[in-house]
Amino acid sequence: MLPISLCIFDLDGVIVDTAKYHFLAWRNLAKGFGYDLTEEQNEKLKGVSRIDSLDLILSWAGIEKSGEEKKLLAAKKNDEYLLLIKNITHRDLLPGVHEFLRQLISLGVKTGLGSASKNAKVILEQLGVSNLFDVIVDGNMTTKGKPNPEVFIMGAAMCLVPPNRTVVFEDAAKGVEAAKAGGMYAVGVGNESDLGEADLVIEGFEGFTYQSLIKKIAI
Ligand code: BG6
Ligand code: MG
C-alpha cells in the first residue's frame, strides 16, 4: 500500500498564480476608499475567504461598513477579479503541476482540490484540469475558513482516506496551519520564511515527484 494515498491541492498560488490577481483587485478596491494595501498585508489574505478578506482590509483601514455595503464591495472586487482571470488558459498552470498530477493518477494516488475560493470550479475548467481531481471542495461547500481544517477534512472524507495518509499542498501559512490541524502532512509551496510550519517547503512543482515527496517527508 502506498504511504500517501491522497494529495490535496490548494488552488490560488499552488496550481495557478491567481494570487497576484486577488491582490490587484483588492488593492484597487481599497484605493477606492483611500487605503493603500501593501504586499505584506496581502500575504495575510492568502487562503482567507472573500468576505473575511474584506473585513480584514476594512479593519486595517479603520473603516466601518454595514452588511449591505460589504456585500456590494465584495461583489465589486469579485467582478474585477473575474475580469482579470478571464483569459486564463491551460498555459497558466504553474510549472510541473500537470506532470505531478498525472504521475499521482498513474500511481493510483487520489487527488483533491481544497480551496477557499468560490470561483474554483470556473478556474479549473479554464485551466482544463477539472477531470484530474477525484474531489473538489471549494468555498461554496465550507462554512469555516482556513486555518480551520474543514475544507481538507471534507476532501479526505469524500475520498475515504484517513488524514495521516493525506498530504496537502499550500502556499498560505493559514492553509498549512489548517492541514496540520486536520492531522495531515503539509507541503508549503513558496518561501520557507512564510511557510515554516510545513513538513516540507518546495519552491514549485518542477521536477517534483511522488518519490521525492515520500523521501522528503520521511515516511
Ligand atoms: C483563496 C485565496 O484561495 O480564495 C484568497 O487565497 C481568496 O485570496 C479566497 O480571498 C476566496 O476566493 P474567491 O475567488 O471566492 O473570492
Ligand atoms: Mg492559496
Same domain flag for 50 and 154: no
| CATH classification of the domain holding 74 | 1.10.150.240
Cα(81)–Cα(53) distance, rounded to whole angstroms? 14
Provide the pLDDT for residue 60: 98
| CB of 47 sitting under 6 A from ligand 1 | yes
Beta bridge partners of 112: 8, 135
In angstroms, the CA 18 to CA 25 distance is 11
Same domain, residue pair 128 and 162: yes
DSSP 3-state of 136: strand
Question: Is residue 29 assigned to a domain?
Answer: yes
Asked if 31 and 124 sit in the same domain, the reply is no
pLDDT tens, residue by residue, 132-176: 999 999 999 999 999 999 999 999 999 999 999 999 999 999 999
* pLDDT score of 118 more than 70: yes
Q: Give the domain range for residue 119.
A: 6-16+90-216
97 occurs within a structural domain: yes
Shared-domain flag, residues 96 and 198:
yes
Question: Which CATH number does the domain housing residue 165 bear?
Answer: 3.40.50.1000
Give the residue whose CA is nearest to atom 14 of ligand 1.
117
Amino acid at 65: K
- Collapsing DSSP to helix, strand or coil, 68 comes out as helix
Is 154 part of any domain?
A: yes
- pLDDT for 2: 85
How far does the centroid of ligand 2 lie from the alpha carbon of residue 128, in Å? 19
Q: What is the pLDDT of residue 219?
A: 61
Residues within 5 A (CB) of ion ligand 2: 10, 12-13, 171-172
Position in ligand 1 atom list of the atom nearest CA 53: 10
176: in domain: yes
Over residues 197-214, the pLDDT tens digits come to 999 999 999 999 999 999
Distance 1 CA to ligand 1 centre (A): 35
Percent of the chain past pLDDT 70, that is, above it, reads: 99
pLDDT digits (tens, 9 = 90+) for 30-87: 999 999 999 999 999 999 999 999 999 999 999 999 999 999 999 999 999 999 999 9
Q: Which ligand is nearest to the CA of 142?
A: 1
Q: How confident is the model over 91-102, as pLDDT tens digits? A: 999 999 999 999
Q: Is the CB of 119 under 6 A from ligand 1?
A: yes
Calculate the alpha carbon distances from 197 to 97, 110, 112, 165, 176 in Å.
Answer: 22, 24, 22, 18, 7
Tell me, in angstroms, the distance from the centre of ligand 2 to residue 153's CA. 17
In terms of domains, do 125 and 206 share one?
A: yes
Q: Are residues 58 and 98 in the same domain?
A: no
Report the pLDDT value the prediction gives residue 215, as an integer from 0 to 100: 93
Q: What is the spatial distance between Cα 166 and Cα 104, in angstroms, rounded to a whole number?
A: 13
Task: Give the position of cell 469524500.
Answer: 158
Instruction: Give yes or no: residues 71 and 33 share one domain.
Output: yes
Whether 95 and 182 map to the same domain: the answer is yes
Task: Supply the pLDDT for residue 59.
Answer: 98
Say which residue, 81 or 217, is predicted with more confidence: 81
